[in-house]
A and B are shown apart, each in its own frame.
Chain A
Amino acid sequence: MSLSEPATFTRRQGWSIVALLAAAVLAWLVFAVWPDWLDDILISKKAFVSAILNGLTLAGLYFLVASGFTLIFGLMRNVNLAHGSLYLLGAYIGYEVADRTGYWLLGVAAGFVVLAVIGIVLQVVVFRRLEGDDLRQTLVSIGISIVAADLMLAVWSGGTYQITTPLWLDGAVTLPIISTIKSDGSTVFLKYPFYRLVVLFVAVAIGIGLWLAMNKTRIGMMIRAGVDDRAMLSASGVNVHRIFALVFAMGAGLAGLAGVVGGSALSVAPGEDVRYLLTSLVVVIVGGMGSISGAAIGALIIGLAEQLGLVYFPTYGIVLTFVIMVVTLAIRPQGIMGGRR
């Protein structure tokens, strides 16, 4: 290093320091006992930490739904606006199977498998015919979502269902996080539903699994190559249609699985399809189309924003999500992890 060079940080170092500081502040917020002035600003520590935890679990769920959406788009340039319907159908199927057999895990498996099969059928029968015409593919997916929503309404009517989780997933765990110190000096630790932590864990596990599959396996290599240049992949002797069907199965299956998992934590009702479609859209717009890590980052941002918004400015919560999307588009139109197109 020459002496004339000024001792400045590189951009990367600067961002790392910002990230470290943010992480330190967050860790302090979560683990420290809050002084009164902070309670005054942020209502209470319990509300704040619960919102963060709810945001994280919600982010896990959003990631499961959006990762399929982003994979399908990245590879096939197919904006599948029926993705929310896949989520809702998965939830209904999971409910039926879990309700009839009594095994919740069987419901989860059914949600994944049935939707994966439906995904293959959709890709082979419908979307392959319209390959290269992304507008028509999108229009067709809209048509499918309308028909699907109406038929689901016919079968399951307008009521709200709750998928019952098994006993071993019930109950709450006490976290090593102090929520308050009572006047008599005893500390109160924060309790949190065990099932929601499981959802978060499952999402992280699937995320890591997807990342490994995409980056360390031959199929994953083909998919990544296809995202970059479909025609070249096809020219080098790979059967791209098989890859397309596989990715569609994966994406639809994940949406179905998310439906069962989410339907157990929240509830299953008509209209949920639109909610999760919106979430998937915003998550991938913010995170960047076609990127798994982008979906994870986007899900994290949107999940946290939604829950914090719900606690701190209830009637304007959705605006926060919206602002995040607009700001992302203004600064980085391709999304946080999106590549240059």
Chain B
Amino acid sequence: MKIGMMSFAHMHAYSYADSLKKLQHVELVGIFDDDVARGKEVAKQYQTTHYISQEDFLALDMDAVIICSENVRHKEMVRNAAKAGKHILCEKPIATNLEDAQEMIDVCEHHGVILQIAFPVRFSAPIIRLKELIDRGELGEIIAFRTTNRGQNPGGWFIEQEQSGGGAVLDHTVHMVDIMRWYLGREVTEVNAIVDSYFHGVDIDDAGILTLEFENGVIASHDASWSRFSEYPTWGDVTVEVIGSKQTVKVDAFQEHFRLFTSGSKSLTNVFYGNDMDFGLIQDFVNCIEEQRQPSISGKDGLKALQVALAAYQSSKTKTKVKL
């Protein structure tokens, strides 16, 4: 299978490229990046060809592309790739507004190509295990969720509103909303949120707390932030606690670690040794194309998660609960 990559603006591109290289039957046939210096560098790193022209890149004989551009460019790249008949894995969030997200879904449907959204948390071993327990009824009826996704400020275009479409709340809400939707099989109907900027002296938001209600009355709290500083033992966290009528189960996707103590300003580092969820995502995307099946994480999944994140901004701005 031949796969190309469109832009290395998002840092996850490196992990995805590493994952592609691990798959023996997959060839990374080229990289489009209009940041010429970055494109040349990564092409050299991954021993492939750099393309400055999107048109030339999409003319390549390849099955699929992985898009890791700035958020605001997702639509443009998805549209072009779909028209070229390439299956697509698009980094989250799917877009910066719902209209773009819907257009991306429609254009992929029209051209008969797969649009999968990159929510790698779905491929974390403990997250999958909890899904199995829920599906087997071992938690009973779900009553509430409690989730977190807190990390470091990625800087660069992430903190430029016109490039990213939003800060920490957009960046770190969509993952966990996707997980809650996946676990529950229900949609969010109400969003109440406080969004602010505390930690980095930037105009864009770096902290938010969301209280959600799902269509079946399940309630949830979510903490999204870029509150972790570089000396913190780990990049951040991804946690979900599910309060069920039979039992409550909590999962920490990065809990599989040992503690490394060294001298210096960062004396403690958590060294993660759990499964590589990015690799799981890429493997699933490749399998999806090979098996010609529907993607496990659809464009609609991306849109629904985006809808909640955008509603959080609206709720905070208007100081009201937003109904979806």
A and B co-occur in one complex: no
